[in-house]
Amino acid sequence: MKRTNILNKKGDEIYILLRPEENLRIGECLDIGGIVAQVIDIEYATLPGILEHILRKSLLGEPEVKEQSQEEVRTLLDTVADHRLAIAKIRGRLGKDGYRHGLIEFSIARSNTPIVKIEPEEFLRLLGIESPFEASFAQLLTNPPAEFKLLLDKLGINLITGMKGSGKSYSAKKILLRLIEKGKVTLVFDLNGEYLNLWRDDSSKPGDYAAYIKVLNPRATRATANEIPFRIPLEEVSYDEFADFTNIDRTTQMYNELIIFWSNQRGSFDLNDLEQYVRGIQNEFVRRGLEGKIRAARAMNLFGPSDIAGLITDLQETGGALVLNLTNVTRKEREVLVKFVMRRLAQLGRQNQIKPISVFVEEAQLYISREMVDDLLTRMRHYGIFPTFITNDPRTLPSEVFSLCDNLISFRFHNPDDLTQIAKAKMIDVETLELLRQIQDRQCIVIGNVTKNFPLLMEIMPEPNVMMGGETKQLFS
């Protein structure tokens, strides 16, 4: 920028007058005499006489209207009419040790304070979040664009949210692939089947990640390619849950026999143990009824031994992902599967049997109880289990997810109620949240530990040679 154009300051916002040839983009950062301000909006400058000039020009087409002003005056007014006003939010100050949040003094002058656009690569360096060792995640929405590499060691409790089709699941998959490359293990609760083909390349053949991604399929009868059958040990469900699975009426003697069997068990047991117990029941009607229920349970292919510790350990040397396919099970089965997995993960982490892992939770409200969410936010991080919540409806998540999250990646929203919920993430201000109404598909705001709590606008770039999937299907192609 050629010269100082400070027009005004109100609160933590500073107003900068832009001439027609000067270009700034929303999200870019300025050095204003050592103060760092981020452009959050650009509008026309409403200056004295401009409105009258525009109204006068709009009437010139009428035959009875004639303009008497001098050519020099008209040219000057036309130029001034094209001036714009950049509204920038003051974020902090530059010092000898780089960028620091906050500002407790304001002593710059309008008349001789230089305004300099901070180049994006330089600003990432000032924030201390540049890294030549990380893989690319996105591009900053700057001119020219700059590559943004996610600092994976800054991930903790993460929240990825956005409207349907805005790019939230795509960005989650990119983070997952970067974690694999860093040798970390992620367990994914895949509600909509969006991660099932991530091990394939874009031609549906096994891709570069084929050796690192395993799909856990409940009900599957045999392993195929990257898919592994997944079972719930019978001792991990209650007699009430087993009765619900097999449609046993709780007012019958069959249900009472389940209570007796479960109450007498110590340690692990399976359907064979239950079947052996049932054979000793004297009442033939009850015995035959339970034998039929056991046959139905076997046909479900849902109960059996499970070795989560072994599956995780096998991947922890190289990194990888375990994708639990929840698309072909009922809501009740889904809840029991997730409860079992979470309980086992907590046990393994508490006993230091596994290294710290990441857990991706898509639309948690559909299968995770409030108690389990509280555990993920508080207790489980001490065991080395770090959740990433992914949702298109932030209002379905408890407020604690927002107040306790370490990183927020938010895509487009228009609904004020959604923005109000996201505002509960204390790291982001209301004015910055308003930008979510303007950004386009695959553009997002990222803020948290990965950005040193500075809101950055960026666009998620395509991932080559991977079947990412997850795009919202259309009725008409």
Over range 415-440, report the average pLDDT: 92
- pLDDT given at position 76: 46
Please check the confidence at residue 11 and state whether its pLDDT lies above 60.
Answer: yes
Predicted local distance difference test score (pLDDT) of residue 65: 47
Q: pLDDT (tens digit, 9 = 90+) per residue, 102-114? A: 888 888 888 788 8
Cα 59 to the center of its chain, rounded Å? 52
Residue 196 in this model has a pLDDT that exceeds 80? yes
- What's the pLDDT at 59? 56
Q: Which of 2-16, 112-126, 270-284 has the highest mean pLDDT?
A: 270-284
Is 63 a residue whose pLDDT tops 70? no
pLDDT tops 70 at residue 80: no
Highest mean pLDDT among 46-60, 385-399, 463-477: 385-399
Three-state secondary structure of the chain: CCCCCEEEEECCEEEEEECCCCCCCCCCEEEECCEEEEEEEEEECCCCCHHHHHHHHHCCCCCCCCCCCCHHHHHHHHHHHCCEEEEEEEEEEEECCEEEECCCCCCCCCCCCCEEECCHHHHHHHHCCCCCCCCEEEEECCCCCCEEECCHHHCCCEEEECCCCCCHHHHHHHHHHHHHHCCCEEEEEECCCCCCCCCECCCCCECCCCCCEEEEEECCCCCECCEEEECECHHHCCHHHHHHHHCCCCCCHHHHHHHHHHHCCCCCCCHHHHHHHHHCCCCHHHHHHHHHHHHHHHHHCCECCCCHHHHHHHHCCCCEEEEEECCCCCHHHHHHHHHHHHHHHHHHHHCCCCCCEEEEEECHHHCCCHHHHHHHHCCHHHHCEEEEEEECCHHHCCHHHHHHCCEEEECCCCCHHHHHHHCCCCCCCHHHHHHHHCCCCCEEEEEEHHHCCCCEEEEECCCCCCCCCCCCCCCCC
**Both structure tokens of 226:** 């990257």
Task: Quote the CA–CA distance of 27 and 118 in Å, as a whole number.
Answer: 11
Decide if pLDDT at 52 tops 80. Answer: no
Residues whose CB is less than 8 angstroms from the CB of residue 78 and which lie 6 or more positions away in sequence, other chains included:
53
How many percent of the chain have pLDDT more than 90? 67
Angstrom distance (rounded) from CA 130 to CA 147? 10
Mean confidence (pLDDT) of the chain:
88
pLDDT at 47 exceeding the cut of 70: no
Q: Give dist(CA 184, CA 171) in Å, integer.
A: 17
Task: Work out the average pLDDT over 451-460.
Answer: 95
Count of positions (residues) in the chain: 477
Give the pTM.
0.88
